[in-house]
Chain A
């Protein structure tokens, strides 16, 4: 059934990492297979933050050879970065198969990203000036500890706890999805898209790439396509209600915005809390209460409701 959560602080940074961990841990029962975060720090103009994976978590159990494969893939990625004139300012590896680079890059980052993904087994999870997209197997406490997320300061974020239904338990099928190659845009989704293949083929004809068979990835690609064509986030969300079939509630975050859309049947849950300085939303109220224990007013958005908030 999956759980989704989002929060946005207006005009200030906060402990978004630990807040998101508390919310996602409260939603663990909705999806114990994997947990993902897309959190937004202060934008670093000129620098790109790139998160990528060079293997799946399950690959690590396939013997010693995997370490050499990973090493080769990392070397290949860094060679491509150099070819495109990118300079690596810092490099971290929270897990052997999961890397974070801060790079400066003068040219077309989308072209470079596409080149990097030509390397077998390599997927860029996110790229942008403020976005940090982390997803891995396990619950929120496991993922937060492995990636040091509880110290993360930022303005907003979205997250997901996944119960795998239509595709595998692996990182490539976990949420959030980055709206490749659109900087700083990420998507989480709870639901099922019934015209997935029709829409996917349409998007593929338009040149977009899909890295998984998870229907939620379509929403990221669809959003990226609309944004690249000058459609505002709010209009894209509204348009999706007519063009995407199925039952869905999904959240989209950009560098400075957080949006939500609910399908025409209002079949998938979302509870909303709004105050002057904080907006929080989740599949269940228990997640909002994890960061706001005091008595607050919350409500369920109705069918076809679309909202966008500014950081």
Chain B
């Protein structure tokens, strides 16, 4: 900036001046950051420090009289001893069970969990036979979480990878700030699902509440039932053969394939009319230009 004199700036057009000052007024055209489905893509990796667990080595923890911290510490101790399949019994709605597991593990939770269940995970396969509370799987990086009953609100908030599957219905704001991975809901989802979604895919086999995909930047939402209303900048798009192939594969994998197939699914994507965050703010324009 120092190399541009005031006199030179005066001779420039508005766009040239903005660029010379290190800024841009370019209107983004909506080029997607979205990575298309690749059946051959690698989906897993393991941390080098991950314990070498044996899936055939199985144990149980009765969590009834344990605190969440005690349960989560015990899981780590057992993994260090090589246990690859751990069953949690009597969780009774405890919060934050199974969070932060960063390596392969079969975790089976027999019952229901509270808030933030199995959040921040990277790798394990989790099966929960009951219901989960708010923010299940929040920020998960990879692995799978399969819930047999219903889930609370902010299901899969900000997930970046892996498959998060609920066979029942989920609350509101499902997949808020989703950054990757796949969220599958067998039943209905509430209001503002996919709010500020950035990447990844969400599948709702039932109905979706109001303001679906509000302010989404990117990513794709598939809905098998009715959509109460679309949110700001969410638009319907054509369901392609690739979409159908992917939906069929994923829903079959989790036993959620509808009898009538997937042709009836709606596809919702970002309209990208709100993509102006790289522009100068009006106050900045006044200041610099």
Contacts and interface: CB of A to CB of B under 8 A. Distances in A.
Contacts of A287: 93
A96 interface: no
A188 B9 CA distance: 64
Interface residues of B, number: 29
Given A266-B173, A269-B133, A303-B190, 18 more contacts: A265-B191, A266-B171, A267-B172, A269-B152, A271-B133, A284-B93, A285-B131, A286-B92, A286-B95, A287-B93, A289-B93, A295-B130, A299-B150, A300-B152, A300-B172, A302-B172, A302-B191, A303-B191
A302 B187 CA distance: 13
Interface string B166-202: 0011111100000000000000001110000000000
B133 A284 contact: yes
Given A285-B131, A293-B92, A297-B131, A303 B210 contact: yes
A267 B154 CA distance: 10
Contacts of A300: 150, 152-153, 170-172, 190
A298 B210 CA distance: 22
Contacts of B90: 293
B150 A298 contact: yes
Nearest to A267: B172
A284 B150 contact: no
A109 B211 CA distance: 48
5 contacts: A265-B192, A269-B152, A286-B93, A295-B111, A297-B150
Nearest to B169: A299
A221 B94 CA distance: 35
Nearest to B187: A299
Contacts of A303: 172, 190-191, 209-210
Nearest to A302: B190
Interface in B97-119: 111-112, 114-115
Contact of A285 (B133, B173, B192): B133
Contact of A298 (B94, B112, B129, B172): B112
A293 B171 CA distance: 23
